[in-house]
A and B are shown apart, each in its own frame.
Chain A
């Protein structure tokens, strides 16, 4: 592999990794406040992709627009994806998790419910939208924009990177600078005491799900433009993002971003080094290696403290 080729793959890895990072935030946030792995988050992601697809198909069937119109389409797709994701996540919390929380069910029950909800949602999507993949309508012409160290970057890749960065910075600010953010941090540190101090726990939990859903849904739309939309598209990115959250330190938002980027880069670099069949092996070897030396992940659990 020459140096230029290495840059090629690194850029691809950063692009893929930034999507994983945005999805991983959804896992980490929910884990932070509820100590629950929301395995249905991959379906939030998938439904976000369908949301973007539906919005674009309704508004803009036909050919790729250019200029300002395509910016509008991208924003519309992102908004629709985020809205679908948020709705799904909100519904999930209301229907699947809140009743269990009321009854004080053990953690294992939450986990099983999460997996059940995931199966239900993706089969529902298969029934509603068909089991064949669908192409995302083109919101712009995917041209080469710039070259970094000999590696080409096209519109989709730049869009992915930019949106991911905006989302991550925005979230970081929400969590660290707003009242809602301090609520989230308080509940994740000690839900009982936070409740006694007057924090409305139900509200905080439900908003946390909505934030995770917004990000996951938008990531779903971006991923759809990057590949295609399918009812079972959530599974692999979902599992990888979950691993990313664990690598970074589950419950830790910046850890999730770091873990996502890392897994994306490792996965991509595995392809030229060992071949495409090893890509997930590479990523999961990193997961195991990190957990052997730092069982709490690279940055450890710290969603509760100010970053």
Chain B
């Protein structure tokens, strides 16, 4: 009997106590520490891309803390999903469970976003991604997903525009790698090119095909004068090599999955003159990001990489809202503020439509020249559209 009474009394007491501590933590900014999470590949195959963003975020947080006008202390909270959809939910849950986390920058990859975003949405935790570009992500009604980067629709259209208007291509060979990213990108480019009256030969070769000799021959034999490769650098590089061997002389373009020095290293001379697009600007070239690049180099001893500046911008956007909301800053209010507000970052102006899609869709063109990836400028301006 006695035991039962203790249990009867004890449970409500325990629950009440838990609820109280929960409340205290939920209000977040009333405490001393506010955490900003990052979800992306911090180990595994694509760790380099994750580190680019992580460093941007760390720099933004460090600078905000150094200024000391926030009233709270910001803390960086990394969760590692290895860029993999199957690890993304567990990673997101870690960020959700820590009630000091007010917003999450990421997830970095489209596949990972797809599996983690519903969970983050239910928890009311903002997922503001600097790099997940699959167009379908904003069509699924995720409650708290904001995309801080133009999607692949813009990139595919940019490639098509550039070929049709600037290079006046007659026949384009379009190859995708069968991944979500590659197929989506190729489809958009295909539609735009066909609409512009350009003949398109559309083919697929799955990623991780080590021997591209026959495909390269096929490109040459098709008599196409331009080529689009929709895939990642690990495959674009051997493909570029075989193309050069097969004697292909036309133009070649690939997207942000290939826009990495690794592509040039692997393909060597064969990568020369390849065009590369990216929704990202080159932080080391643009005037607006000069100071950022210096600070970044000073702290990490490397130059900023793809999406470093974008991650930095988005983190600063979150920090701006934390500061503005002050005591009222919690997960819900931060999401509202981010979704409805706007922020003039170093790379671009961030503001979102009703679906969480970035309003502007600038795509930038790069070209491999002399073994370097040289920044060319906005593709829309270059194509004259």
Spell out A's residues near B (CB within 8 Å).
Answer: 5, 8-9, 12-13, 15-16, 131-135, 138, 142, 152, 154, 156, 223, 226-228, 230, 232-233, 236-237, 267-269, 271-272, 275-277, 279
Contacts and interface: CB of A to CB of B under 8 A. Distances in A.
27 contacts: A8-B221, A12-B213, A12-B214, A12-B217, A131-B44, A131-B45, A132-B48, A133-B234, A133-B237, A133-B262, A152-B247, A154-B245, A226-B211, A227-B238, A230-B234, A236-B208, A236-B209, A236-B210, A271-B218, A272-B221, A275-B204, A276-B175, A276-B204, A277-B203, A277-B205, A277-B206, A279-B214
Given A12-B214, A271-B214, A276 B203 contact: yes
Contact of A275 (B203, B211, B212, B266): B203
A5 B221 contact: yes
A142 B238 contact: no
Contacts of B213: 12, 15-16, 268
B276 to A, nearest CB: 18
Contact of A268 (B48, B175, B208, B214): B214
Given A275-B204, A276-B203, A277-B204, A135 B214 contact: no
Contacts of A154: 245
Given A16-B211, A276-B206, 11 more contacts: A13-B214, A152-B247, A227-B210, A227-B212, A228-B210, A228-B238, A236-B208, A271-B215, A275-B204, A276-B215, A277-B205
Contacts of B266: 133-135, 228
B268 interface: yes
B265 interface: yes
Nearest to B48: A132
Contact of A272 (B175, B206, B218, B245): B218
B348 interface: no
A135 B217 contact: no
B203 A227 contact: no
A276 B214 contact: yes
Given A5-B221, A135-B266, A276 B210 contact: no
A286 to B, nearest CB: 16
A269 B214 CA distance: 8
Contacts of B265: 135
A8 B217 contact: yes
